[in-house]
Structure 1
Amino acid sequence: AAVERTKVRVQVPPVIHSETHEYVAPVDSSVMLHCQAEGSPPPFITWHKDGQLLRDSVHQQVLSSGSLQIAFVQH
């Protein structure tokens, strides 16, 4: 008897879970902005400010969870 195998890959559109809060933080403190996304293939999360992509630096870092950590908050 012949055996055939078939692989089915289902793509699922991303679902984004994000807290939409207003953050108030003292100058030079740290803030964590949370964002979680699910989908198949797993979505890649980027953060932008004033239309510009935020890149990791001493002051900000996008974590593997998709959250954005901001250190030394300035106004």
Structure 2
Amino acid sequence: MRGFLTILLICTGSSAMAHPGHWADVAGHDHWIAGAAIGLAGLAAIWGALKGKKEKEAAAEAEEELEEETA
């Protein structure tokens, strides 16, 4: 039991991670480059979500038109 707790506490204590800004420091850049990269990723995600929403709306409209024609 003592050995299990020792291993558990060692693994738990070593699981800390730095925030993304420090990853850029390792590469020789400043924090603003990492911030810009994260911002661009966020914009791409928003753009993809909006694009998907428009496609869903267009599909729903096409389905409604098809139902009206068959009725």
Q: TM-score, normalised by structure 2?
A: 0.22
Point out the structure with max Rg over C-alpha.
2
Q: TM-score, normalised by structure 1?
A: 0.21
Whose helix proportion is higher, 1 or 2?
Answer: 2
- Which structure has more relative contact order (CA 8 Å, sep 6+)? It is 1
